[in-house]
Chain A
Amino acid sequence: MRTLARRRLTATLALGASGVATLIGLAFLAAILWTLFSRGIGGLAWRVFTQTLPAPGSSGGLINAIYGSVVMTLLGVLIGAPIGILAATYLSEYGRRARLSVVIRFINDVLLSAPSIVIGLFVYTLVVVPMGHFSALAGAISLAIIVIPVAVRTGEDMLRLVPQSMRHGSAALGAQPWRSITSIVYPAARSGLLTGVLLALARVSGETAPLLFTALNNQFWSAKLTQPMANLPVVIFTFATSPYDDWQQLAWVGALLITLFVLLLSIVARLISRLFGVPESRVE
């Protein structure tokens, strides 16, 4: 027979342990951010934003890597987001109850958690091998493939939030479904769709694995999409695992920049959804 005192003690200990677990979780976040700031801030200098990647032992910056990251992530989102939102439009508007939609939703959810390095291998065989060399375009395509499932998931969630009565009202005025969708449903879901795109952008801006063998890396300034292009994640990987101190320092700066950017995006996305009363879409 368990006494009440013992049961109370168990409850206190167990719930106390849950608080400790939360503290540990928060400590991880704090530790990572603290390390990033303390090691990254010291290396932040103007040359980071004005000079290209250095050779070992000489001074330089990250500008070509930053440029490459911006170009490839933007291109990836520009390709992936419209495809994803159109697919979401099918799932939410045309085929809401279709059997095909059930399959697509399921496959999309699986792709959402699929290992990104496999996407890199896929684009390698699909684009890099036929082209004969690594290229920024291949990098952007692999990022686009990662954007699609995120855009489909958030897109469908957001489009479904638009009340049916608005679609019916539009249809009653004689509008074809496509006109209702583009003139009524999309504008109504605007802030939600924007949140989804921002989340997708956050998701791919730190992606490294798929860029390793698609965009590769480039020590020099290059704006050609058909050529290998430097990008922050791969530079961080290469520089951090190198034995050179100044390279490692730049890797920390790069890591700090990426993390700040991604955290900022996530926070902005949250703010938008809160300001406009959009429930957060779960992306995991």
Chain B
Amino acid sequence: MASAPTITLPFAERLRHEARAEAVFRALTVVCAALVLAVLAGVIGALFYGAWPALSTFKIGFLTRTVWNPVTNQFGALAAVYGTVVTSLVAMVIAVPLAFGIAVFLTETCPLWLRGPIGSCIELLAAVPSIVFGIWGLFVLAPLLQHTVQPWIIDTFGDLPGVGRLFRGPPYGIGMLTAGFVLAIMVLPFITSVMREVFLSTPRSLKEAAYGIGATQWEVVWDVVVPNSRAGIIGGIMLGLGRALGETMAVTFVVGNAHRISPSLLAPGTTISASIANEFTEALGPLYTSSLIALGLLLFVLTFVIIAAARLLLLRLERRGSAA
């Protein structure tokens, strides 16, 4: 009996040590996982704290007024929100059809051996830093649009009743249309990648059945693949929209940074993110800084809602996919 403890003691010590290490390691992973939630809570909390002076001064008027005057300390977010929404919508109008086309090409038309390389090239577009899009947009795209595309747009659409208002005024080069254009290129790979994935998840049997009753390749895409992928397509578009709303550097270069609402898409405007990027380090006075943080809070809430909705849509789709 006496010898038993002397044999097991070192081993028991070792076991205790292992169990202690286990508890520590496990706790460490839980803390790190909780940190993800803490970041979200911290961002919302810190932004709200920073935005409070502006929000309590201007109340609901912060959302409804267009004035942005650092001299008189009057700030309203409407012009920036308008610019953010308009540039993102322009981006979507350009990017969604392109992304759809690319996704169709990569899943249907493209020869198999070319799918990998072309797909990688489109994805590399997502790796290009946003500042590079900005500098390219400012020095290459803006002059190009100013001298060729914009005069043509003004001549062609400017005189139309109704929508013509969107396309009047001098061709500045920089402005909301250019910003939307650059954003479109930036979100293109993200939307394409989601669409491509949902297209690929269409059950083979459905497509083969459609071919079997004599559908053309396009009819299979349009009448079988697309309806089957509707939720994924919408999720992908919303994910791209969320990206476009929050994108900063590329827009800051080309949007023109004017705090006003112009009916024309060709006019300079501003977005929430561009205002913050341009003015934050130069903002004098607590109310100015606080108003910019309030803009940031607004942006975060806006993108959070859209991205969360998109993720929920895609998540449901994933579950359906794994259940089937």
A binds B: yes
Contact status of A258 and B132, CB under 8 A, knowing A29-B125, A117-B273, A126-B42: yes
Cα A157 to Cα B72 in complex, Å, equals 53
Tally of contact residues, B, Cβ under 8 A? 96
Bin the interface of chain A by size. Answer: 35 or more
Chain B 101-117 against A: per-residue CB contact (8 Å), 1 yes, 0 no?
11011101110000000
A241: shortest Cβ distance to chain B, in Å?
A: 7
Chain B binding surface SS class = helix
Residues of A within 8 A of B25 (CB): 178, 181-182
B residues bordering A, Cβ < 8 Å? Answer: 18-19, 21-22, 24-26, 28-30, 32-37, 39-40, 42-43, 46-47, 49-50, 97-102, 104-106, 108-110, 118, 120-122, 124-136, 138-140, 185, 188, 190, 192-194, 197, 216-219, 221-222, 239, 242-243, 245-249, 252-253, 273, 276-277, 280-281, 292-293, 296, 299-300, 303-304, 307-308, 311-312, 315
Cα A103 to Cα B38 in complex, Å, equals 12
Residues of A within 8 A of B194 (CB): 284
A283: shortest Cβ distance to chain B, in Å?
A: 9
The answer to the question of A83 belonging to the interface, with a C-beta cut-off of 8 Å to chain B, is: yes
Q: Please name 12 pairs of A and B residues whose Cβ atoms are closer than 8 Å in the assembled complex, sorted by A.
A: A7-B216, A14-B221, A22-B105, A26-B122, A29-B125, A35-B136, A35-B140, A90-B32, A90-B33, A121-B276, A208-B131, A255-B132
The answer to the question of A195 belonging to the interface, with a C-beta cut-off of 8 Å to chain B, is: no
| In contact, B300 and A115 (Cβ under 8 angstroms) | yes
Cα A253 to Cα B164 in complex, Å, equals 41
Chain A binding surface SS class = helix
Contact status of A18 and B21, CB under 8 A, knowing A118-B246, A126-B42: no
Contact status of A18 and B129, CB under 8 A, knowing A125-B50, A284-B239: no
Cα A236 to Cα B39 in complex, Å, equals 29
Residues of B within 8 A of A84 (CB): 32
Residues of B within 8 A of A108 (CB): 36
